[in-house]
Amino acid sequence: MKKWSFGRKTSSRAIGAKEQIDLQNPRNVYYDNVSNIYHSLFLVFLAALLVFVCVSMLCNLELFTYENFYYLAKDIGAASDLLSGSGNVINYETSVRNQTFALYRGGLAVGGDSGLQLFTATGRETLNTSPDYVQPVLHGSERYLLVYDVGEKRYSVYNSFVCVHHEEYDYPVFAGAMSDSGYYTIVSESYDHAGVISLYNDRFELVNRYNRTEMVTCTAINQAGNRVAFATAAMKDGAYVSTLVIAIPGQAQTSVEMTFDGLFPYRVEFIDQHRLLLVGDTAAYIISVDDGTVICPIKYAGLQLAYADTNPNYTAFVFSINPVTDTYRLIISDKNGGLIADQTFEAGISQLSVFEDYVYLVTDSGIARIQPKSLAYELIECSTQGKSLLITNKDEVLLCSAQSAVYYQFK
């Protein structure tokens, strides 16, 4: 049987001679050239990527350690736990006295006189250590956990699994603050100064040290780590005079210093990048971080302040009206100090928290959530005596007792 083949003439001198064409692998010269160009560009990209990776590794050789790779692998497991959702109960050691609690990287930190425990959101324990603390103070963030004992001479910084840094001073530590960036402050004293504020970066290197002749009562650092604030107090003519200081890390001179007569400062807290809240015994002030302008003074008018808290949306205060009858007054303002709500509660209030668009109260009856603009009120009835509240997200809270921490959900 005769077989047919298809072809084309290749030259006039080879009439009748035919070149076989492979129909299963046809070629197009234009697309062949385009493919070669993209292939060359891909090789250039790979070479540039290789150079970038090599340069980055050479510039950060000190970070490539066995410990860092080990904890990176463990952090992947912790992140998996966090994404899988929260559990209902976290149990911890019950023999601990002087307990204190903090949120750390979506999980829970529990400190006391017998040690420190860290848990993921699902209750898996990642650290159980026994440093010699009496009543530790915990400051959690998305980067590190800062731990110190007020009146002791040392502090420690932890990640989820181990102490990554510790330092001992010649004089006691009185206060501290930790930011999500890993920058943190420690307040101590020295032979020549009543207050010494040390600012460290995320590699535990000293960035600034501010020496004050007055006592430093509180400190704060914003989450980006690019502003630090602290307040001092001194007696003058039988009354307190406080000074608020705002500084930029890395700069020798402070950017803002302002004084307040007749005020003892309890707390300073950044509201956002441009505002902070200074809370004192007789008044509170919302202040511009940029130039020190007082945006709104909040006078207590003789009321006794019980609690205060703030976030970028709201600032809230709880005043004790009558401790005998457990009567309290809740005042909520916007970020500029404008009054939004003013309510009286005939129930004991033991804690106040502001988170996103809600204000949370721990009362004798349970955990209350208030939406300031609509004044919508929700209550989860539960036992709250001697317990601490932590807000994990706007619809979920963690109530910590001496034995365990229990998750509660708002609908």
pLDDT, tens digit (0-9, with 9 covering 90-100), for 232-269: 999 998 899 999 999 999 998 889 999 999 999 999 99
Indicate the DSSP class of residue 61. Answer: G
Decide if 380 is inside a domain: yes
pLDDT, tens digit (0-9, with 9 covering 90-100), for 108-120: 999 988 789 999 8
pLDDT, tens digit (0-9, with 9 covering 90-100), for 71-95: 555 555 544 444 444 458 898 876 6
Decide if 107 is inside a domain: no
Decide if 325 is inside a domain: yes
Domain CATH for 407: 2.130.10.10
Decide if 89 is inside a domain: no
CA distance 308 to 318: 6
Task: State the average pLDDT over residues 265-285.
Answer: 95
pLDDT, tens digit (0-9, with 9 covering 90-100), for 351-383: 999 999 999 999 999 999 999 999 999 999 999
Partners of residue 399 on adjacent β-strands: 389, 406
Q: How many domains does the chain have?
A: 1
Predicted TM-score of the model (pTM): 0.78
* 215-221 vs 228-236, strand pairing mode: antiparallel
pLDDT at 85: 43
Nearest C-alpha neighbor of 289 from the set 207, 217, 210, 227: 227
Indicate the DSSP class of residue 13. Answer: G
Decide if 86 is inside a domain: no
Decide if 386 is inside a domain: yes
Decide if 68 is inside a domain: no
CA distance 368 to 359: 8
Tokens (6 digits) for 36: 């070669």
Range of the domain at 351: 301-411
pLDDT at 209: 95
Decide if 364 is inside a domain: yes
pLDDT at 342: 93
